[in-house]
Amino acid sequence: MLDANLALLLSFAVLLLIGTPIAVALGIGAVVGILIGLDLLALGMIGTNAYAAVAKYPLIAIPLFILTGMIFERSGVAARLVTFAQACIGPRKGGLALVAVLVCMIMGGMSGSGVADAAAVATVMLPSMLKAGYPKPFTASIIAASASTAILIPPSIALIVYSVIVPGLDLRALFAAGLIPGVLMGLAIAVPVVWLSRRHGFGAGEGTERPPFWPALRAALPGLLAPVIILGGLRSGLFTPTETAVVAVAYGLLVGVVIYRTMGPREIYAVLADSAKISAVLMLIISLAGLFAWAGATMGAFRATADLVLSISDNEWVILALVMLVMLLAGMVLDGVSIFLIALPLLIPIVQAFGWSYVWFGVVISINIAIGQVTPPVAVNLMVTAKIARIPLETTFRWVGWLLVAMIAVLVLIIAFPEIALWLPRVLGYRIT
């Protein structure tokens, strides 16, 4: 059985390393493990378990929130949020950089995806920041880092997946737990952003005119209300997370079609088609990850791996540091959803062994993954912004290091003081496990 467990994990790892799509690597790894560790009759369970992995009501929220994010991205919300943020912050050195951080955080409360957030904000902010005297590498770095807060600020798609995999976890508690750390991370990123801007004289060409506040607020208000509707609906109990996603889509269409009038039949069709493609890929990964998890759990591969990790030390801080290192490396090459699907079956026994809170642990590893998404040499978010800016990825390394220090400081803070994450769900009366 040990050989089968090794075959399961090694075949997946090797396929991933040679560039095989993650869904294919998960599926083939599961089949290899089943063939070696079980028997041919077990192959008959492949279809059942692959279907069971996606036949879960909470997962309906994922394609709906993907659609919500794309609707708000293409309806002109981001551009209006930029104008409103400029009206709040005003013209000053580092002002546009702060605007980028703030808009990324707000857009993260609509899209739930760091990559989508980075792409939307970079497209809108890059021309104006370049005109104001910000270098492309610096601009790409701060947008990539700020967009990573989307994995924490509700409605995070990665946290939805986390809540489905961990049994008995209240998604509302997880969303509430991610809110304060997400805001803290945005504020932490803003500190070196302002310091670097002023030290190097960036933003000297921002001008002296501040956009009128009230017209900017009126124009941005429909977009600003989106996170309020999402979080308010969850908190009031009026909607379940899945129903909230449906309401968010309907509200996004209302904003784009009726209020802003930037979306017609052609734009709606394009949004539906593009979000369907992204959702299909994501659900395929979830389906085959479910098959991989079933094969690993049936053969005891995940428990054996967890026992191996726990045998390294009986000190929970040593084990947590090891887990954080692995999550950081994974975050450099994979998105948060894929990491949760692959790693959680291995990590759940470790969390149980030390009695850690699943809610707190979900926030901690989400921050770690967010750091990985802007950590060279791969850095998923950074690759997106660098591509939009048309610059080599290595030109951003000089700037992104300062932002990583700020993000790591928040991670250490949440690990040292778990109540920063757990206080809000506790006050709201959610069950913390």
Which residue would you say has higher pLDDT here, 221 or 18?
Answer: 221
In the prediction, which pLDDT does 420 show? 96
The pLDDT of residue 173 is above 90: yes
The pLDDT of residue 192 is above 90: yes
Share the mean pLDDT of the chain: 88
The pLDDT of residue 174 is above 60: yes
Query: Residue 381 burial by CB count (10 A; 0-12/13-18/19+): exposed, middle or buried?
Result: buried
pTM: 0.89
In the prediction, which pLDDT does 341 show? 86
- Contact between residue 108 and residue 121 where contact means Cβ atoms under 8 Å apart: no
358-379 mean pLDDT: 91
In the prediction, which pLDDT does 105 show? 92
Which residue would you say has higher pLDDT here, 29 or 3?
Answer: 29
The pLDDT of residue 205 is above 80: no
In the prediction, which pLDDT does 119 show? 86
Closest CA to 75 of 276, 264, 277: 264
Per-residue confidence at 206, pLDDT binned at 50, 70, 90? low
160-186 mean pLDDT: 92
The pLDDT of residue 235 is above 70: yes
Q: Return the minimum-mean-pLDDT range out of 119-123, 333-337, 346-350.
A: 333-337
Q: 259-278 pLDDT, tens per residue? A: 999 999 999 999 999 999 98
359-377 mean pLDDT: 92
Q: Return the minimum-mean-pLDDT range out of 6-10, 284-288, 340-344, 361-365.
A: 6-10
The pLDDT of residue 1 is above 70: no
In the prediction, which pLDDT does 116 show? 81
Q: Please state, in angstroms and as integers, the Cα–Cα distance from residue 249 to each residue in 74, 113, 242, following that order.
A: 13, 15, 11
In the prediction, which pLDDT does 70 show? 87
369-396 mean pLDDT: 88
In the prediction, which pLDDT does 208 show? 62
Residue 94 tokens, joined = 């580092």
Per-residue confidence at 207, pLDDT binned at 50, 70, 90? low
109-127 mean pLDDT: 84
The pLDDT of residue 101 is above 60: yes
In the prediction, which pLDDT does 46 show? 85
207-231 mean pLDDT: 86
* Residues 6+ positions from 348 with CB-CB distance below 8 Å: 165, 166, 302
Q: Please state, in angstroms and as integers, the Cα–Cα distance from residue 247 to each residue in 227, 238, 253, following that order.
A: 12, 11, 10
The pLDDT of residue 321 is above 80: yes
In the prediction, which pLDDT does 178 show? 95
Share of the chain above pLDDT 90, in %: 40
Q: 8-57 pLDDT, tens per residue? A: 888 888 888 888 888 888 899 888 888 887 766 677 788 888 888 888 88
For 242-278, letters b (16+ CB in 10 Å) and e give bebbbbbbebbbebbbeebeebeeeeeeebeeebeeb
* The most confident of 52-66, 302-316, 406-420, by mean pLDDT: 406-420
Domain boundaries, the chain: 57-427
